[in-house]
């Protein structure tokens, strides 16, 4: 959580988002996207699509599905590792 807050604070300093405390939940911090962020992604949109097309060149549906399943399994393993760390 602290890493996420630190990253969000850096992104806020760059002017892309605004962090705002939730009115109803003191524990929650809301992230508001600023217009500069939207413009940034509009400018990068075509480049990002081209990049993704290039890295997935030659992938069929089966291969793409296998990559997805692999990432899901890695996420499960990371969650399990983190749970083991929090045990006494």
Measuring CA to CA, how many Å separate 17 from each of 37, 40, 45, 75?
A: 7, 12, 18, 27
19 with 31: CB under 8 angstroms?
Answer: yes
State the 10-residue block means of pLDDT for the chain, 88 residues long: 86 96 90 95 92 96 97 95 78
Looking at the structure, tell me whether residues 33 and 8 fall in a common domain: yes
Instruction: Say what the pLDDT of residue 83 is.
Output: 87
- Residue 67 falls within a domain, yes or no? yes
Supply the pTM of this predicted model: 0.53
- Residue 53 falls within a domain, yes or no? no
- Residue 52 falls within a domain, yes or no? no
Looking at the structure, tell me whether residues 69 and 33 fall in a common domain: no
What is the span of the domain harbouring residue 25?
Answer: 1-44
């Amino acid at each position: 959580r602290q890493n996420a807050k630190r990253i969000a604070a850096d992104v806020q300093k760059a002017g892309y988002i605004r962090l705002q405390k939730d009115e109803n939940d003191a524990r929650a911090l809301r992230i508001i996207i600023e217009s500069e962020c939207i413009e940034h992604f509009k400018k990068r949109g075509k480049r990002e699509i081209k990049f993704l097309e290039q890295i997935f060149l030659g992938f069929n549906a089966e291969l793409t599905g296998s990559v997805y399943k692999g990432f899901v399994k890695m996420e499960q393993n990371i969650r399990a590792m983190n749970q083991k760390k929090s045990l006494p």
